Structure 1
């Protein structure tokens, strides 16, 4: 999920949980309730914190890709991060307020960030540092305007009526309802994939459905059988195709076809050229390509070419290929001749993070 939506969701949850009681004169400094603005600010900042792992890009992009949503998104480490943030917030207020007062909004901010990323397709290391296994329930695309607008509406109304938290509670309930709606679409896409796998007699096929940009009704369906991908970009709402599109976003939208069009196509993980598959597999399994193999969940050959680097074999991950756009995070291995070692290379993409 995008960083701003994460931060706003932390502010919303902190607003719901905020203590607004005015302390009595007998209360100690340690028990003074935080001003509402500081509770909301702490939730906002804490919900942005887990994406601090973006700094790993200073090492290299693949290190970042392999460790993004790692330890900073761990449920095991959540109390530690919240404690550190609480101490930082206390220090920033010149210790006027105890770190203990910041601990709850910090916990809530990190927790809702984890929950927000859990329903995207990237995957979180929820149990780091004890396990690097990733978990996800892909329901929402990383940028979802409806998701963000619900949060913004709740915060704006809460700002207009600062003594009432009903707007924030309603916004959170609406978010839960929206996520449930996305889950029903997810299940619909899974059922389409199961029917297709059964019709094609694909035993033990691995089914994945991924939310896509521009509409909650857009889904990418991947049915993987051995080294073959059966793919469909579907619009679960449309009953008939759209008219000819002329500009980029409309072309992207038009690529997601109605269910009845049975818009399936087949791609081989290592390409269709049987004479070249041995070399492509060798490149894929080369030690130089290990970090990309760790990252890619649905790797597929993009192309082979020859340049000043020699023979180059390029791959990308199907998770990051969208209609009308070049794939993101394209990596390959190159060598000058059959006696040379493979060397990993990177191809820049359309977006800055590529």
Structure 2
């Protein structure tokens, strides 16, 4: 999640744990602790692919954060004595640190909660920026500063609301997952990998990816849709040359769970992570090889994707409300390509 959200969550968690001993300084400390794991963005791993894949690694691991919270609590108690016992202080520090990766695990890219075991954990039910999750936390912090005698109660209420919103997001994702599963029964894509994640800034409209053998299928489904059948668009996955070895390509395949496409752009082979973005506007794209007679691996180069158009925002809103004349590219369905194979028995 974004830094503002993580800071707000850290502050509210600190207030909830501190109870009657809470103060604005504790909220500030909680906000700082809540953003601390993301300082790993300052570390360069040598190339853009490694920087993306290894972010949310050791600094987000429960195996690192829990021991680190003991060390940090001990130093805090030694140099800045507080009214907290060591166990209370450790619980506050640990809670602020650990809730950061746990929240990140609810987004499309997840996090390596058990680093050094290289298994990203992701339940992609939240977009990386979600005002409906963040704003209540910010309001709780503001209210806590105005009514300081009620800080603990306000923070606990805010934390409860945040957990209820996460529960809603998981429930909504399961609704969409059931729709996809039912639609794919009896089609060539039954049993194929599926990736479901919310569209920007909400948990009502969901983006659905289905990975086939040579193509992937992209569609939108809103919780408010009257017709639950998803109108998929078919797009090519491309292929990675079998004769070409690349550690970075293997890293991306593992990191994306196979939701990756390859395109030849001029003389470069570009790998795109399909999980974050929409249509052709994908956030992470890398040139990994070039062709000059034969394929040759190159040092990864990040490729900028086309910027989103402000004109698409009204279409996104209409689609969210259940207008099914808008497709995964946020254009009118009549103007967009259709699949070569049927995705449902009609």
TM-score, length of structure 1 as denominator length: 0.76
Q: Give the 3 Å change call, closer, same or farther, for CA 57–348 of structure 1 in structure 2.
A: farther
SS at 1:304 equivalent: strand
1:2 corresponds to: 2
2:192 corresponds to: 205
Q: Give the 3 Å change call, closer, same or farther, for CA 57–153 of structure 1 in structure 2.
A: same
Q: Give the 3 Å change call, closer, same or farther, for CA 336–169 of structure 1 in structure 2.
A: closer
The separation in 2 between residues aligned to 1:188 and 1:141, in whole angstroms, is 17
Bigger RCO (CA 8 Å, 6+ sep): 2
The separation in 1 between residues aligned to 2:243 and 2:89, in whole angstroms, is 51
Q: Give the 3 Å change call, closer, same or farther, for CA 340–201 of structure 1 in structure 2.
A: closer
Could you say what the CA RMSD is over the residues aligned between the two structures, in angstroms? 2.8
The separation in 2 between residues aligned to 1:124 and 1:5, in whole angstroms, is 16
2:182 corresponds to: 195
The separation in 2 between residues aligned to 1:178 and 1:70, in whole angstroms, is 26
Structure 1 residue 19, shift from structure 2 partner: 4.5
1:14 corresponds to: 14
Structure 1 residue 65, shift from structure 2 partner: 1.1
1:166 corresponds to: 153
Q: Give the 3 Å change call, closer, same or farther, for CA 288–348 of structure 1 in structure 2.
A: closer
1:128 corresponds to: 115
1:146 corresponds to: 132
Q: Give the 3 Å change call, closer, same or farther, for CA 340–120 of structure 1 in structure 2.
A: closer
The separation in 2 between residues aligned to 1:288 and 1:77, in whole angstroms, is 26
Q: Give the 3 Å change call, closer, same or farther, for CA 178–305 of structure 1 in structure 2.
A: closer
SS at 2:265 equivalent: strand
User: Is this contact kept in 2: 1:46–1:82, CA < 8 A?
Assistant: no
Q: Describe the superposition over 1:181-234 as per-residue Cα deviations: whole angstroms up to 9, x where unpaired.
A: 212210111011101210424342222211120332121112223343222123
| Counterpart check, 1:317 vs 2:273 | yes
SS at 2:148 equivalent: coil
User: Is this contact kept in 1: 2:10–2:31, CA < 8 A?
Assistant: yes
SS at 1:20 equivalent: helix
User: Is this contact kept in 1: 2:189–2:212, CA < 8 A?
Assistant: yes
The separation in 1 between residues aligned to 2:2 and 2:85, in whole angstroms, is 28
1:86 corresponds to: 73
Report matched runs for 1:32-47 at 5 Å: 36-47=23-34
Structure 1 residue 290, shift from structure 2 partner: 3.5
Residue ranges of structure 2 left out of the alignment (5+ in a row) = 308-346
| Number of residue pairs matched by the alignment | 303
The separation in 2 between residues aligned to 1:216 and 1:78, in whole angstroms, is 29
Structure (1 or 2) with the larger CA radius of gyration: 1
Q: Describe the superposition over 1:69-113 as per-residue Cα deviations: whole angstroms up to 9, x where unpaired.
A: 11111122222221343356457xx54448936423211111211
SS at 1:331 equivalent: strand
The separation in 1 between residues aligned to 2:139 and 2:296, in whole angstroms, is 56
TM-score, length of structure 2 as denominator length: 0.78
